[in-house]
């Protein structure tokens, strides 16, 4: 059983908020610094809801054996919120690259490519596609790039590409809405096609090219239709031109050529990227690397898809303050639900509660977010 106190807001996204916190598993164990994710929940509506945070917790439990997946410690739900205690991490790749003092070498970019290909291969091997690959969903350790590892985070929109009832690849169908930010999603994602392994890799290709180009992509951060129009006209070779190693453009063109059910050649591309770095290649990011070329974010670069919710076309289960409990205006948060088709297991809650510790109490905070007229928050 876990006891948690939290205070400072670390991040706010389209579906939830993340706070810094301290966790104790028992009286004898030392306290642990954690990140606490909190997402709106409605008790008693489970038959109609497939909660995002429970879904993400299930994914992290299923993927916990890979070193580039953040550790998950505890889970619990009240009548208002679901809570997930996770490994505390540092800056996102987006934040790090936009810092004017920071720069990445070619070897660093190759290391990021290698680590992300490795973790995506593992994620895909477990029948899961991430569906929201972006530089904001890649994070360095709490000690920064010096630890050398970059983590893949935010599995709230992930889904199984394997049909749980048949064990076969799901058919390619038209989705009701896109998944992920328009800046980073694949061309098939723009066209509302069912996401598969190829789409995660295409999004990764855009992230790598974004790093090479100093944080600038031709389609910018506009409306989805405009982004798609420009993106579809840009081949990998055109995006990389002659200024950058052609392997990055070749990787994008390869991802776009993959068939819906085709298994990507992860090992081949890890080898291809490692060859670019030559003898200077290391799997881990090395911030002390001084061998150019160097890649730095352009000073005037707009924040491409950094803080926008990945919710194009999504409808909240509940919205509007008149339907909201708790109802403090400044902390209004909608309740979001996935489709049953998105679930990784038939009983995701069972996977979670058997895979991590349970909360002993509602996480305590000095932050007031529940209106005084509401019943006291209690764990379910």
Residues designated catalytic: 132
Please tell me the distance from the alpha carbon of residue 168 to that of residue 162, in angstroms, as a whole number: 5
Answer whether 270's CB lies under 8 Å from 276's CB: no
SS3 of 68, please? coil
Phi first, then psi: give them for residue 111, nearest 5 degrees.
Answer: -65, -40
For residue 318, count CB atoms less than 10 angstroms from its CB and return exposed for 0-12, middle for 13-18, buried for 19 or more: middle
Angle at 209 between CA 205 and CA 214, to 5 degrees: 150
Report helix angle 266-277 to 106-125, nearest 10. Answer: 170
Spatial separation of the C-alpha atoms in residues 240 and 249, rounded to whole Å: 6
Instruction: Report d(CA 50, CA 38) in Å as an integer.
Output: 16
Q: Please state the separation of Cα 334 from the chain's center in Å.
A: 20
**CA contacts within 13 A on the Cβ side of 21:** 29
Contact present, 126 and 62 (Cβ < 8 Å): yes
Helix, strand or coil, per DSSP, at residue 72: strand
* Residues β-bridged to residue 38: 17, 83
Query: 154, 68, 59: which is closest to 113 by C-alpha?
Result: 68
Cβ contact 377:370 at 8 Å? yes
Q: Are the beta carbons of 82 and 53 closer than 8 angstroms?
A: yes
Both tokens assigned to 144: 């920064």
DSSP notation for 339-354 = -GGG-SSTTHHHHHHT
Residue 170: DSSP 8-state:
P
Which residues, 6+ apart, have CB-to-CB distance to 277 below 8 Å? 106, 107, 110, 111
């Amino acid at each position: 059983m876990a006891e948690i106190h939290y205070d400072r807001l670390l991040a706010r996204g389209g579906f939830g908020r993340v706070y810094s916190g301290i966790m104790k598993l028992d009286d004898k164990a030392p306290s642990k610094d954690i990140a606490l994710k909190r997402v709106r929940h409605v008790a008693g509506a489970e038959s109609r809801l497939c909660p995002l945070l429970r879904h993400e917790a299930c994914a992290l439990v299923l993927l916990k054996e890979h070193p580039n997946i953040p550790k998950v410690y505890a889970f619990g739900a009240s009548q208002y919120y679901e809570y997930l205690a996770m490994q505390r991490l540092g800056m996102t790749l987006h934040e790090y690259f936009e810092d004017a003092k920071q720069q990445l070498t070619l070897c660093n970019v190759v290391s990021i490519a290698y680590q992300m290909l490795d973790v995506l291969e593992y994620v895909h091997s477990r029948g899961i596609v991430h569906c929201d690959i972006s530089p904001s969903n890649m994070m360095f350790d709490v000690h920064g790039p010096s630890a050398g590892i970059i983590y893949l985070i935010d599995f709230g929109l992930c889904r199984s590409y394997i049909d749980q009832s048949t064990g076969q690849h799901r058919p390619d169908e038209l989705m009701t809405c896109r998944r992920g930010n328009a800046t980073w999603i694949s061309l098939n994602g723009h066209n509302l096609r069912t996401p598969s392994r190829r789409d995660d890799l295409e999004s990764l290709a855009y992230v790598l090219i974004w790093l090479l180009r100093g944080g600038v992509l031709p389609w910018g951060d506009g409306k989805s239709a405009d982004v798609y129009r420009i993106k579809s006209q840009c081949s990998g070779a055109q995006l990389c031109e002659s200024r950058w190693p052609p392997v990055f453009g070749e990787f994008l063109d390869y991802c776009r050529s993959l068939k819906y059910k085709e298994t990507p050649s992860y090992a081949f591309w890890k080898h291809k990227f490692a060859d670019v770095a030559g003898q200077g290649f290391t799997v881990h990011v090395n911030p002390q690397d001084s061998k150019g070329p160097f890649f730095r974010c352009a000073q005037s670069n707009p924040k491409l898809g950094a803080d926008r919710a990945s919710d194009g076309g999504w409808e909240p289960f509940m919205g509007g303050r008149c339907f909201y409990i708790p109802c403090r205006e400044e902390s209004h948060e909608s309740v979001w639900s996935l489709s049953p088709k998105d679930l990784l297991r038939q009983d995701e809650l069972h996977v979670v509660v058997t895979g991590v510790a349970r909360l002993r109490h509602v996480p305590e905070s000095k932050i007031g977010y529940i209106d005084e007229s509401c019943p006291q928050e209690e764990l379910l």
